[in-house]
Structure 1
Amino acid sequence: MSKLEQLLTQIAQNKLGIETLETRRSDSLDFHDVAVWCLRDALEAAFNAGLEQGRNANLSDKANT
């Protein structure tokens, strides 16, 4: 599992209560009712993780110049 997949799975578990993002070919396992505030929290967590990744890459680039 890639780092991105791990991050997205962790967000899904922590913010949405979704055990896995893998397709399980079962409607009851693959479709979830999610409150909008939980979805917002998950999107915000993903956005913040992207910002952090960008900051770390930027700092790494500056250190190498």
Structure 2
Amino acid sequence: MNKATRRNTDLDELFAAIAREKLGIETLETRRSDSLDFHDVAVWSVRAALDAALRAGFAAAKGGKR
């Protein structure tokens, strides 16, 4: 696996973890079903998810763990 592929995989895993933990979304994979692919989430959950992504970016930029 090359560096770019590994980076994309790491990001996909990070995004999936944030979606699970902050938004209660089981997976970010397309499942071709409206009831599975569209979610009602509270704005405070969206804010928490964005905050988690931002903090992960800061940590990565500092060379720390995501």
Q: TM-score, normalised by structure 2?
A: 0.83
- Give the aligned CA root-mean-square deviation in angstroms: 1.4
Of the two, which has the highest radius of gyration? 1
Q: What is the aligned partner in structure 2 of residue 17 from structure 1?
A: 24
In the alignment, structure 2 segments of 5+ residues that lack a partner are 1-7
Residues paired across the two proteins, number: 57
Query: Which aligned runs of 4 or more in structure 1 are off by greater than 6 angstroms?
Result: none
Match of residue 60 from structure 1 = none
What is the percentage of aligned positions where both structures have the same residue? 60
TM-score relative to the length of structure 1: 0.84
In structure 1, the gaps of 5 or more residues are 58-65
Point out the structure with the larger helix share.
Answer: 1
